[in-house]
A and B are shown apart, each in its own frame.
Chain A
Amino acid sequence: MTKNINVTVNGTQHTLEVEPRLLLVHMIREVLNMTGTHIGCDTSSCGACTILLDGKSIKSCTVLAVQANGKSITTIEGLAPEGGPLHPLQEGFKENHGLHCGFCTPGMIMRAHELLENNPNPTEDEIRWGIAGNLCRCTGYNNIVKAIQWAGCKMRGEETPSTEPEFV
């Protein structure tokens, strides 16, 4: 048994026939072959699958594809045109060493996108709580926070802070 759905993905309309139980993350990765959104757990704890659904960051492993019918989703591939120019968040992660293995990064960036949209000048605490649904095993989070702060600056049109590492 399948259902017909219409989903706008990164600005392009798609008409798909899907099983009702198909997870949105599998629709993105397997049906549309967009593998930038990752799967890191089975309990909606890790956030690697985070995308935007009608502008709100959601965990696509816990949403069914049919729930996206008639809606618009944005994945990491849709943040900026392929090959650049980069979104300030993408640039911020690169300039501030906000990633190591890159596996949590797309989800982290998409979460940060809504965070900054709702709160353009967040405190460090607000950022840490804001990304508490996204696990990272590699970076120790310091530089992810720095990257988001840097991107926030750029998006507010302010001068961005130095990206040189600080030592005691």
Chain B
Amino acid sequence: MGHSLKRKEDARFIQGKGHYVDDVKLPGMLYMDIVRSPYAYAKIKEIDISEAMKVPGVVAVVSGRDLEKYNLHWMPTLMSDTQMVLPTDTVMYQSQEVCAVIATTKYAARDGREAVRVSYEPMKPVIDPFKAMDPAAPVLRTDKPGKKDNHIWHWAAGDKEKTEEVFSKADIVVKEQMHIPRIHVASIETCGCVADYDKVNNHLTMYMTTQAPHAIRTVIALVAGHVGLTEEKVRVIAPDIGGGFGGKVPVYPGYVIAIAVSFLVGKPVKWVEDRSENLQADSFARDYHITAEMAGTKDGKILGTRFKILADHGYTDASANPSKFPTGMFSIATGSYDYDTTYMECDAIYTNKPPGGVAYRCSFRVTEAVHAIERITDRFALEVGKDPADLRMQNFIKKEQFPWKSPTGWIYDSGDYHAGLEKAMEALNYNDLRREQAEKRAKGELMGIGISTFTEIVGAGPSKDFDILGIKMFDSAEIRVHPTGKAIARFGTKSQGQGHETTYAQIIAEELGLPAENIAIEEGDTDTAPYGLGTYASRSTPTAGAAAAMAARKLRDKARKIAAYLLEVSEDDLEWEPGKFFVKGAPEKAKTIQEIVFAAYTNHPQGMEAGFEATHYYDPPNLTFPSGAYICVVDLDKETCEIKVRRFVAIDDCGNIINPMIVQGQVHGGLTQGIAPAMYEELIYDEQGNILNGTFMDYLVPTAVESPKWETGHTVTPSPHHPIGAKGVGESPTVGAPPAIANAIVDALAPYGITHLDIPITPYKIFKALKEKGVF
């Protein structure tokens, strides 16, 4: 632990020998391409497949009516809603799947897709979520008997009356309306699968871009068990995955259609979406309209917060959240500050847009929560006339106050927010920057400094509160050491680039003293890996990492017994140092772990099981609470309104660090995925529900030019309840960065009385805001 070990998995990737889903080629494999709706809301009048069936190589065209025969045309979502696999009469969003063409080659499938003729009767779609709330709005979910509106559910947390009282009596109340728009994970590898049903053995192998292979296997068995695909007949293999970020958690219709077709024809069926389909139809993320309010004293003490959200879910609630949390972990929005009063509520609404949302590197809506609290905190600082750093220091929960119970009931495990912000301020010479800013303002130059100090909530989660479709969110590790002292360990998680083959080996190496190079790590094959809920929401280190340590400790206990037997002493006479047990006071009388393991196979004590293997299923007692202090410095060009990020310092606290190089890599990547929504990315729809930027031409994923030279550091407050004190870090940067950048830009514009701008903040938005203030 604590070493920047180079990654073991890199060897195959740098030589072009990674094994991704689109690399899977099986004998007799068929290719699937999907016909999609050009309309956001329409009745399907007719699907004419006659021309498509004439295309050489086309084998079949599958529609909703075909799936209806097997009751597979609708499927459940993770949030107890329902989603169409293929429609039988109505399409609900532009690019929705309408029918699937199966052919012997990729190009024939595409030719077939172009030859299918669908006639539609377009209807006026409901795109604006506020209009969808109107009682006069058309009811979209006519498939739900008795449904009279577009409202999905209402959620609330906190104390409504107490909050009203605090707000009514407070010196200062600030309020801002914020929209956190739709964005897309846009991992460089799109989603796809090869569904391979073997009719002879009644067995399905599903190669799939999935972050949660076991959950998928169970879902397949629940949905298709009635046609014979029971759980022991299904094998899900997640091979190398080219980025997940939450986008490869949901079950998209394409996967289900591929399984259905393979089942019917008994041949492998490959479906890999192209980028346009990925951006236009896969689950989106975010799309929260938030009214954020903060109440406090004129001296800057925060007394309470209030948040009201309208959540646009598209045509069905296909969110990927633990089942009891429709707004994910949004209730962490009280933030890093010491106050006890809050009220938050959310209404979810249907619109004619793709369904969702996915938890895009956000720990289940923590991006939205932190954006709201950090923006409104800066707004409050502006109102009371205090420096935003001072105001935060004044209000932070103090190190001694942990474990700290938040107003919405979370028990923050540990943290030192003061140390984090101090370190960030020191790294940038914060006071010098403020002096520089004052000088520049006097000359009319626009320079801004933005701070974001966030508390994250990850590691879902303890069984008493967390489940996905009823399956508890534990995770697992299984370690087996061979006679010659080398090991293999398997996990219920699934890396999509996070480096588990290296970091899990490091955890086990630390506990057992076996070199990390001698520990092979495997994930992703449900036939061999122990059951787990997968990798997303920064949960791998908190759950499976803990399981690795606990399983390794079981092995160390067994090793102690064998060592005592070999050295002919009692267990109490032995001491452990990484890699060996030795007799107290006689260090030359020792046995290495390799000697002990060999003995487990060749000379084990009578009455003990032979072999050297242990499994642990870890049920975390609490979530973990990483935190961070980010500071961003921007310079705005007054004529072009161009934004230049001059510096960005990120201080993260993820508890004990397994591999500093990998942690830093995660922070870099997350920061770039944080500047993206802050300045560049947004999925834009017009009133007809047409997506205006559904390709990489117009959906602006940052390149190396837009991505700043990130500066990173850390503080360390170990998690007291985690076996190795680690917390997880993958999503902290995507959570913490957008408000830091937004706060910096708004700070630069403060002299003009501009108090808020919605992300993505573009030069055009700045121009419009300045124009309204009479600058242009």
Residue of B with least CB distance to A21: B107
B496 at the interface (CB under 8 A from A): yes
- Residue pair B668, A102 in contact (C-beta under 8 Å): no
CA of A138 to CA of B669, assembled, Å: 5
CA of A163 to CA of B660, assembled, Å: 12
Among B20, B673, B707, the one with the most A-chain Cβ atoms within 10 Å of its Cβ is B707
Q: Name A residues whose Cβ lies closer than 8 Å to a Cβ of B.
A: 19, 21-22, 26, 29-30, 33-43, 45-46, 48, 75-77, 79-80, 82, 86, 90, 93-95, 97, 99-106, 109, 124, 127-129, 131-145, 163-165, 167-168
Min C-beta distance of B751 to chain A, whole Å: 30
- Residue pair B707, A140 in contact (C-beta under 8 Å): yes
B470 at the interface (CB under 8 A from A): no
Chain B 496-507: CB-based contact to A (< 8 A → 1; otherwise 0): 111100000000
Contact of B20 among A21, A38, A79, A129 (CB under 8 A): A38
CA of A5 to CA of B240, assembled, Å: 33
Contact of B188 among A19, A94, A103, A164 (CB under 8 A): A103
Q: Cβ of B667: which chain A residues have Cβ within 8 Å of it?
A: 140
- Residue pair A138, B697 in contact (C-beta under 8 Å): no
Min C-beta distance of B148 to chain A, whole Å: 41
- Residue pair B243, A135 in contact (C-beta under 8 Å): no
Q: Cβ of B452: which chain A residues have Cβ within 8 Å of it?
A: none
Min C-beta distance of A151 to chain B, whole Å: 11
Q: Cβ of B757: which chain A residues have Cβ within 8 Å of it?
A: none
* Residues in B678-728 with C-beta less than 8 Å from chain A: 695-697, 701, 703-705, 707, 709-714
Q: Cβ of B11: which chain A residues have Cβ within 8 Å of it?
A: 94
B276 at the interface (CB under 8 A from A): yes
**Lowest 8 A-B CB distances belong to which pairs?**
A36-B16, A102-B13, A103-B242, A140-B668, A101-B497, A100-B497, A45-B696, A76-B16
* Residues in B460-500 with C-beta less than 8 Å from chain A: 496-499
Min C-beta distance of B29 to chain A, whole Å: 11
CA of A131 to CA of B10, assembled, Å: 20
B671 at the interface (CB under 8 A from A): yes
Known: A48-B188, A101-B497, A137-B188. A42 touches B701 (CB 8 A): no
CA of A90 to CA of B711, assembled, Å: 25
Min C-beta distance of A160 to chain B, whole Å: 14
B744 at the interface (CB under 8 A from A): no
Chain B 237-249: CB-based contact to A (< 8 A → 1; otherwise 0): 0001111010000
Q: Cβ of B274: which chain A residues have Cβ within 8 Å of it?
A: 41-42
- Residue pair A45, B697 in contact (C-beta under 8 Å): yes
Known: A95-B6, A140-B672. A124 touches B705 (CB 8 A): no
Q: Cβ of A132: which chain B residues have Cβ within 8 Å of it?
A: 703-705
- Residue pair A38, B7 in contact (C-beta under 8 Å): no
| Known A45-B696, A100-B665, A141-B707; further 8 A-B contacts with Cβ < 8 A | A42-B695, A94-B10, A99-B14, A101-B242, A105-B14, A139-B665, A140-B672, A140-B673
- Residue pair B10, A99 in contact (C-beta under 8 Å): yes
A-B contact pairs, 15 of them (CB 8 A): A30-B106, A43-B697, A48-B188, A93-B14, A94-B6, A94-B7, A100-B499, A100-B665, A101-B189, A106-B16, A136-B704, A139-B665, A140-B672, A143-B668, A163-B6
Chain B 274-306: CB-based contact to A (< 8 A → 1; otherwise 0): 111000000000000000000000000000000
- Residue pair B107, A141 in contact (C-beta under 8 Å): no
Q: Cβ of B713: which chain A residues have Cβ within 8 Å of it?
A: 167-168
Q: Cβ of B190: which chain A residues have Cβ within 8 Å of it?
A: 40
Contact of A38 among B6, B107, B189, B670 (CB under 8 A): B189
B230 at the interface (CB under 8 A from A): no
- Residue pair B671, A140 in contact (C-beta under 8 Å): yes
Contact of B16 among A21, A35, A145, A168 (CB under 8 A): A35
Min C-beta distance of A81 to chain B, whole Å: 10
B17 at the interface (CB under 8 A from A): yes
CA of A144 to CA of B18, assembled, Å: 18
- Residue pair B275, A97 in contact (C-beta under 8 Å): no
- Residue pair A129, B701 in contact (C-beta under 8 Å): no
CA of A105 to CA of B20, assembled, Å: 13
B662 at the interface (CB under 8 A from A): yes
B661 at the interface (CB under 8 A from A): yes
* Residues in B607-661 with C-beta less than 8 Å from chain A: 649, 651, 660-661
Contact of B186 among A90, A137, A164 (CB under 8 A): A137
Q: Cβ of A37: which chain B residues have Cβ within 8 Å of it?
A: 16
CA of A125 to CA of B664, assembled, Å: 21
Residue of A with least CB distance to B423: A168
Q: Cβ of A133: which chain B residues have Cβ within 8 Å of it?
A: 703
B440 at the interface (CB under 8 A from A): no
CA of A35 to CA of B714, assembled, Å: 39
Q: Cβ of B665: which chain A residues have Cβ within 8 Å of it?
A: 97, 100, 138-140, 143
CA of A38 to CA of B665, assembled, Å: 22
- Residue pair B427, A102 in contact (C-beta under 8 Å): no
B15 at the interface (CB under 8 A from A): yes
Contact of A101 among B23, B241, B695 (CB under 8 A): B241
- Residue pair A82, B242 in contact (C-beta under 8 Å): no
Residue of A with least CB distance to B426: A168
Min C-beta distance of B249 to chain A, whole Å: 15
Q: Cβ of A19: which chain B residues have Cβ within 8 Å of it?
A: 107
Q: Cβ of A138: which chain B residues have Cβ within 8 Å of it?
A: 188, 243, 497, 665, 669
- Residue pair B673, A137 in contact (C-beta under 8 Å): yes
Min C-beta distance of B14 to chain A, whole Å: 4
Contact of B669 among A46, A76, A100 (CB under 8 A): A100
CA of A129 to CA of B701, assembled, Å: 15
Min C-beta distance of A145 to chain B, whole Å: 7
Q: Cβ of B14: which chain A residues have Cβ within 8 Å of it?
A: 76, 86, 90, 93-94, 99, 102, 105, 109
CA of A137 to CA of B700, assembled, Å: 12
Known: A132-B704, A135-B701, A164-B4. A38 touches B242 (CB 8 A): yes
- Residue pair A165, B703 in contact (C-beta under 8 Å): no
- Residue pair B16, A75 in contact (C-beta under 8 Å): yes
- Residue pair B711, A102 in contact (C-beta under 8 Å): no
- Residue pair A103, B20 in contact (C-beta under 8 Å): yes
Residue of A with least CB distance to B650: A168
Q: Cβ of B241: which chain A residues have Cβ within 8 Å of it?
A: 101
B762 at the interface (CB under 8 A from A): no
Q: Cβ of B10: which chain A residues have Cβ within 8 Å of it?
A: 93-94, 99, 102
- Residue pair A140, B697 in contact (C-beta under 8 Å): no
Min C-beta distance of B344 to chain A, whole Å: 31
Residue of B with least CB distance to A101: B497
CA of A105 to CA of B7, assembled, Å: 14
Residue of A with least CB distance to B695: A43
B25 at the interface (CB under 8 A from A): yes
CA of A84 to CA of B11, assembled, Å: 10
Q: Cβ of A106: which chain B residues have Cβ within 8 Å of it?
A: 16
B159 at the interface (CB under 8 A from A): no
B187 at the interface (CB under 8 A from A): yes
Q: Cβ of A143: which chain B residues have Cβ within 8 Å of it?
A: 665, 668
- Residue pair A41, B672 in contact (C-beta under 8 Å): no
Residue of B with least CB distance to A87: B14
- Residue pair A43, B18 in contact (C-beta under 8 Å): no
Q: Cβ of A93: which chain B residues have Cβ within 8 Å of it?
A: 10, 14
Min C-beta distance of A129 to chain B, whole Å: 6
CA of A119 to CA of B15, assembled, Å: 23
Q: Cβ of A39: which chain B residues have Cβ within 8 Å of it?
A: 22
